[in-house]
Structure 1
Amino acid sequence: MNNKKILIIVGTIVCATILVIVASIIITQSSGDDQNDQPRLIVISFDGFRADYVSPTLTPTLWSLKQTGATGKMFPVFVSKTFPNHFSIATGLYEEAHGIVANNMYDPEFKAVFDMSHSTQMWWDNGYSLPIWIANQQVDGRKSGGIMWPGTGFTFGGDKAYYSIDFNRTINMQQRIDLLMKWFTDTENPANLVMLYIENPDETAHNHGPFGKETLEQVMMADRTVAYLLENLSQHNLTESTNIILVSDHGMQEFDAKTGINLTAIVPDLTSFRQFGGSQAIGILPNEGKEEEVYQMFVSLAETNHFRVYKKDEIPEEYHYRYNRRIMPILLEADPGYEIAFTTWSHQDEKWGNHGNNNTQPEMEALFIATGPAFKNSFNLNQSSFFNIDLYPIMVKILDLDIGSYNYNGTDKITKNLLDEL
């Protein structure tokens, strides 16, 4: 074979190789462009974070975002407990509609008890609720992630979050942000929506009160966590294309020995019923044939013990807490400023924290700060309050989904106010 033929063959091989490389680059870039076009949303919940924790000295990062981003007065739905409100945020539904009506509840059809630490698939997908992480994944190519957010580890309509990790308190706040960023920047399957749950300051406030030293240290840690997220987004050039919603599921109220009522010590007959819900808003399931007797017993006790008693069909309409089989026949609700529970308290401090009853008390106001390309800058809704179920249409809009495709109780009354034209 002469040199000319060799050169022709070599040249042909080189050209073919170059064409393959170029085609590969074009395909990769096209795929990357599609992923870059996806709207990005991060939702972080700091459990029990009171709205009035945000201040220039205690939380400088959150304070700055509050001044430059969008904010407003947000309240939880009733009952103001952790699992129910996280699922209301995710679905836009009242608790009676999505079915997670308490942290601890009984289902008479299943004849089973739900507990936060022992949750299974059967409790979550009622065929009506569609969490935002599933709605997002109904668009081809999109991936959602859930870091310890209640419900993200379960299947809805045959689909579940592409990325999820169950609750694990040994994974600290910074490590959770690292995991979020890993999913967000994955080169092959990046998530465009991540829901992140952080159990503090709630976990600490229950023992030390909402203003205890230990609790405020967790508040400051939450602020540093947000700063760490912002640094990471900046390092990956994602700041200008990422929307962030910072929330809490409820606020936190302070109690002491004078305002805590141990029902175990005053109820004359503890064997005539079962109780679910833990504290503040407690579901009572009377033994068969004992319904009226148990109801009258609690009515009598309530006259002198700072709580109210409702039959299921008498629960205030504004609570939207009647129409679900998991809501018990009788509801006990603590008066504002008081705590009720079937327990003897063993808190470390003289003051402690709790939540769960009237969701519109000032102490229950939740954190809400949003920032990113979809939100107006330096915008405050001022005196126009809203409920966390109103976040669902906001998230749907940011993710460019069809709001008409989903069941939700929230309204879009704040969507137009908070969002820039998309």
Structure 2
Amino acid sequence: MLDIRFVRKNPDAVREALAKRRSKVDMGEYEALDAERRALIAEVEELKARRNQVSKEVAEAKRKGEDASALIASMGGASERIKALDEETAAVDARVQDILMAIPNIPHESVPVGASEEDNREVRRVGTPGTFDFAPKDHVDVAVGLGILDTERAAKIAGARFSVLKGAGAALERALAAFMLDLHIREHGYVEVIPPVIVNTKTMTGTGQLPKFAEDLFKLANSDYWLIPTAEVPVTNLYADETLSAEQLPLNHCAFTPCFRSEAGSYGKDTRGLIRLHQFNKVELVRFVRPEESYDRLEELTGQAETVLKRLDLPYRVITLCTGDLGFSAAKTYDIEVWLPAQNTYREISSCSNFEDFQARRAGIRFKEKGGKGSQLVHTLNGSGLAVGRTMVAVLENYQQADGSVVVPEALRPYMGGLEVLRPA
């Protein structure tokens, strides 16, 4: 959430940012309500001041034995009017808050201006896509041929956009997660946490999923509980309503969790295979940093996520999202896209974002310098390190062989009991 003082003092800057993002938030309504709120508060304060003054005058008159009836009469109905104004102010405050909660973050100055993903800017490419002397299959055909993926039974027990991995497929998923966690913990210095995957509304609101994206989430019926769409939600909110010490920063956590998304806005997209599921596993990286360091830390975070693909020897590219494709809470985002030979294109496998103090303001996460009098909001960052299912897709497609087998990347072999090749059952 943006600072209300910033919005009030810089309406044109906010309006410009909304236009760049193609946001439909009505700043005109906000400004009218804010003016109404100020007028109501001014009237209430004036009435209360007058009431206090008259109360003193009444007390003084009574002390002197004078008739105070005229003074008392002059304030007739003041209390009722103050109560009515307080109620009206509360209603306006609630609507102002709704609008503030709907305003997306201000894009960083380095973010390219654009309307859609077509305007995203490529930053770099790493690795060269391999060549095949046969027509490469997509990951579903590869996995079914290996006997490691069962979508039909998944549909029977759950429905569309679910999967069942078995045998070497389950082992490969587990190996990928363990490899990613070990890399980030041992080499990148993250502290692993295993958070709840069911959280309350306050937690979802703290990171910006609510109220805007309710339709993209799964809510537990007759409760205040939601299934997490990413570990970013519980891990960021570990420190909600807390003040950290400056010495703790940067504070780095990683978490491996299942993630749940309704995919409400993706009807008809990627219905085949493991690309876009209602339930999938992901290793998430979350950082709490000093404001002046946050963009350096974003570069660092993105590089850490890239290391996974480098170790697996998978070709990829990094792009900067434009203003029209930028996530609601983010000030800047790098997407990492891995090469998928069957699709002959790059597909997203990680998003690494700097939210500046947008999430911290909503969640109340602050830090304080040693010996300092005041506190300030931290900057929060997160990124996938990586989406495990999509990494499996990339491995199956890039390492497939003409006979239907798949070579196990060297980095994963210690996690697969030394297995070098997955062969058809």
Give TM-score scaled by structure 2 length.
Answer: 0.24
Higher relative contact order (CA 8 A, sep 6+): 1
Give TM-score scaled by structure 1 length.
Answer: 0.25
Q: Which has the higher helix share?
A: 2
